[in-house]
Amino acid sequence: MNNDNEKKQPTVLSLFGKSFVVGLSPMDDITDLPFRELCKTMGADLLITEFIASEALNRDAEKSLRKMVFTPAQRPLGIQVFGANEDELLRCLDVVAQREPDFIDINWGCPVRKVAGRGAGSGILQDIPKMLRVTASLVRHSALPVTVKTRLAYSGDTMPITDFCEALQDCGIAALSIHGRTKTQMYSGEADWTMIGEVKNNPRMTIPILGNGDITSAEVAVECRRRYGVDGILIGRGAIGNPWIFEQCRRAFEGLAPRDVSVQERVEVCRRHLLASVDFKGERTAVFEMRKHYGNYFKGLYGFKPFRLALVGAPTLAETLTVLDRIGEHYTQ
């Protein structure tokens, strides 16, 4: 490994600011600026933007450029990009660097057809030599540390990550995040943390290894940290409509009992999230995209179905706020 690459391999503490990281995993149309801000206030150590197409950045697509917006309070933060074309990925490095994130994250893990079917995201796991060649090229040309997020393999009968993670490290990446499923699994079945642990516990690995997949509670987070020895965890679907999961994880790591979250607090945080989204994206988009969060914001409330249907059916901000008021009144009587 050359000296330039060695300089780009910081410790967990120097890159992410913590000796153990509890971060928000990037999710399209979920981890936007308002939700990242909310998760940060709830204790998330590390934030990564929604994934952004390199081609869209290179043609100054407004929606993609807005995905890179962040506030100083959200640091440490990475901007995640994806693409299948090496030239396009190299061109977008300068566009991303102008925003001055703490690192650039390369998405070699998205399994959805519109991404992987083009050879981007986890689609590149069918061509490991290309993945390594492009990754090394991005590291050489980037002014910022480069990290990678990937999956275990393309499918169960292709090369697993335990065989190519050392090569990724040799490319000079600063950290590696691993989702414990293959591309063909999509989000079905259970995440296999055993292989994530094998990567972390390989004595030849020196970069931070972050695990991702099925972290749905603080108890699961504690167990994954204890059993697999990773340098951090990224929480994805478990954080949707549940920003408190970061606070609960921190409390669990410190040996504290979980804190009960009242219905009124759920309503107020949901309202804050909605209003921030409207300010950032406009009413129509925000009201639509917030529908993905409501089920988890109020998960477990007896008799909630009529309220959930009203929330997802409300077409305007005013009507949505009215439903939230009704929820607060109904469950505090």
The structure tokens listed for 230 are 């990773």
Q: Which fold has domain 3-253?
A: TIM Barrel (3.20.20)
Three-class SS state of 177 = strand
Instruction: Give the integer Cα–Cα distance in Å for 205 and 296.
Output: 37
Helices (H) and strands (E) counted in the chain, each on its own, are 17, 9
- pLDDT score for 10: 58
Rounded to whole angstroms, the Cα distance separating 217 from 252 reads 10
Bridge partners (DSSP) listed for residue 177: 149, 210
Structure tokens given for 116: 């992987």
Catalytic residue ranges: 110
Hey, CA dihedral for 127, 128, 131, 133, is it positive or negative? negative
Q: What pLDDT is stored for residue 158 in this prediction?
A: 77
DSSP single-letter state for residue 149 = E
| Single-letter amino acid code for the residue at 12 | V
Answer yes or no: are the C-beta atoms of 138 and 146 closer than 8 Å: yes
DSSP state of 51: P
Same CATH topology for 3-253 and 263-330?
Answer: no
The phi, psi pair for 185, rounded to 5°, reads -70, -20
pLDDT at 6: 44
| Beta strands 175-179; 21-24: pairing state | unpaired
- Listed by start position, the domains of the chain span 3-253, 263-330
**3-class SS at 325?**
helix
**Residue 234: both structure tokens together:** 């990224």
Cis peptide before 76 (omega within 30 of 0): yes
pTM of the model: 0.93
**What's the pLDDT score for residue 19?**
86
d(C-alpha 33, C-alpha 73), whole Å? 11
Domain 263-330: homologous superfamily in CATH: Putative flavin oxidoreducatase; domain 2 (1.10.1200.80)
List the beta bridge partners of residue 48.
78
Strand-strand pairing, 232-235 and 52-53: unpaired
Instruction: Report pLDDT for 5.
Output: 43
pLDDT along the chain (333 residues), means of 10: 45 82 95 98 97 96 96 97 97 97 97 94 96 98 97 86 91 97 94 96 95 97 97 97 97 94 97 98 96 95 96 97 97 85
Distance CA 81, CA 289 (A): 21
